[in-house]
Copies of this chain bind each other. A is one copy, B any other.
Amino acid sequence: MILTVTLNTALDITYHVRSLRPHASHRVSEVLERPGGKGVNVARVLAALGHEVTVTGFAGGATGRVVQELLTATPGVADALVPVAGATRRTIAVVDEESGDTTQLNEPGPAITPVEWNAFQDRYEALLASASAVALCGSLPPGLPVGAYAGLVRTARAAGVPVLLDTSGEPLRRAVAARPDLIKPNADELAELTGSHEPLRATQDARRRGARAVVASLGAEGLLAVTPEGRWRATPPVRLRGNPTGAGDSAVAGLLSAEAEHLPWPDRLARAVALSAATVTSPAAGEFDHRTYEKLLAQVSVTTEANAA
């Protein structure tokens, strides 16, 4: 199975209102709930691609119970979340039906105690024994050491399990030094990590800092990959319009599933770009349409990339 780690899981709630006006009262016409957090989103896409996935991380309180109930009801996804005393956060996306725009309200995550963090690390090590790959995704909840991901990368490497890391800021900087197999920063995260706004230069620099391979997601321009096996650029066939929510998580799922299937890099990148594009163009945020994905997969352009000057 593929393991995904979401230390700051969430219940993603979507509200539809006619038009959000500050300081007014609004009747919510539609309520949707989905388990969330980056690693959970990655797991959902992996399961939709036919992979067996196990989700770990933390869950607590009434919201944590709902997240676990919804995960258990998702075919192909196994719930291995570790219980905590604090409450799993809710994120609320208020969709304005007149403009289509979204207003986001994000609760803070639960504070994780050292005992809970130790319990998680034990569970994680046990789960790695049957994992073909692991993805470490998203922000750290309060209470965890900034080097949390660095430790999880080292544990995966010691277990011989390929590890993909998708986070940002100081936790990313620390964890890169622990030599993950793959990181997938976006342009902002890459610039923050390396200080360079030139994507190819920054991507190469991120490798020098410790990542075995770096796949930079450059929004509508697709992906730029710098790996020990070569450098590629993968771009979607057309300029896509839609909702970018979850596009990065779909790209992670594409890379991870293709790696688990031992596909060569160009195929991994094509899959990641096609999944990401099919997520942007899907009417439901964070979902993707299988037929669109398969159509786009044949149209993604993957070209080799020269060294930075």
> How many Å from the CB of A78 to the closest CB on chain B?
21
Query: Would A105 and B17 count as touching, CB distance under 8 A?
Result: yes
Indicate if A104 sits at the interface (CB-CB under 8 A).
yes
Indicate if A291 sits at the interface (CB-CB under 8 A).
no
Residues of B within 8 A of A105 (CB): 15, 17, 26, 28, 92, 94
Partner-contacting stretch, out of A95-103, A155-163, A257-265, A267-275: A95-103
Q: Mark A86-98, 1 if CB is under 8 A from B, else 0.
A: 0000001010100
Query: Contacts A62-B65, A62-B66 given: A22-B22 contact, CB under 8 Å?
Result: yes
Q: Give Cα A224–Cα B66 distance, bound, in whole angstroms.
A: 47
Residues of B within 8 A of A65 (CB): 62
Q: Give Cα A242–Cα B40 distance, bound, in whole angstroms.
A: 43
Residues of B within 8 A of A62 (CB): 62-63, 65-66, 69
Query: Would B23 and A103 count as touching, CB distance under 8 A?
Result: yes
Q: Give Cα A165–Cα B69 distance, bound, in whole angstroms.
A: 39
Residues of B within 8 A of A92 (CB): 92, 105
Q: Give Cα A102–Cα B23 distance, bound, in whole angstroms.
A: 5
Residues of B within 8 A of A99 (CB): 23
Residue of B nearest to A99 (CB): B23
Query: Would B104 and A22 count as touching, CB distance under 8 A?
Result: no
Residues of B within 8 A of A96 (CB): 22-23
> How many Å from the CB of A168 to the closest CB on chain B?
15
Q: Mark A280-299, 1 if CB is under 8 A from B, else 0.
A: 00000000000000000000
Residue of B nearest to A62 (CB): B66
